[in-house]
Amino acid sequence: MSKKLRSLFLRKLTLRSSGSQTLRNQKGMTLIEIMIVLAILAGLVSILAPHVFSAFSKAKIREAHLQIGELSKDLDMYYTDCGVYPSASQGLQALLAAPQGDPPCPNWGPDPYAKPNMLKDPWGHPFVYEPENGRYLLKSLGADGKPGGTGVNADISNDDSGKRDEGINSALRLLKL
């Protein structure tokens, strides 16, 4: 009987030691390996980030051009119904609700001519609307929201006679990949 107990004891001891041996042989990632992976990822982000932000800035400039085009169409629809463009005091709000004051628009609506979110440029600034002698100037003041500027901060308007603003061209040149 003692031989059987001894053999059983030795077998369990062998299983325990081999089980702990397999745990010792299993490898995880060391701290140095994790640091190397993080360094590689940081390098990739530093290379790709400027290209992503450049594309994002270009998209906002193009979006501003598209929004100005849409607002111009909305203003032309307003003109078709009312016979005049909204006055400076009525502003672009006349596209959202029937305008009060002079000039009146008895044929306004019944639906708004524009959506409320269309009255702000891609940077969240309100579009500038300046009516003059039966025409109007519609513009975005760029990323900084201030008149003038260069690059992404350049003004974007509908008054470029079929060609892009010099400021917009310079912005696109600066952002070129």
- 114: domain CATH number is 3.30.700.10
Q: How many domains does the chain have?
A: 1
| Angle formed by the axes of helices 31-82 and 166-175, nearest 10° | 160
Q: What is the pLDDT of residues 53-70, one digit of tens each?
A: 888 888 999 999 999 999
Q: What is the mean pLDDT of the chain?
A: 80
135 vs 131: CA distance, rounded Å = 6
Q: Give percent of the chain above pLDDT 70.
A: 75
Residue 151 has pLDDT above 50, yes or no: yes
What are the structure tokens assigned to 5, written together? 């107990």
Residue 126 has pLDDT above 90, yes or no: yes
Q: In what order do the strands lie in the sheet with 156-157?
A: 128-132, 135-140, 156-157
Cα–Cα separations (whole angstroms), residue 16 to 11, 19, 112, 128, 176:
9, 5, 79, 80, 65
Report residue 127's pLDDT band, with 50, 70 and 90 as the boundaries. very high
CB 92 within 8 A of CB 129: yes
Range of the domain at 168: 2-175
74 vs 117: CA distance, rounded Å = 13
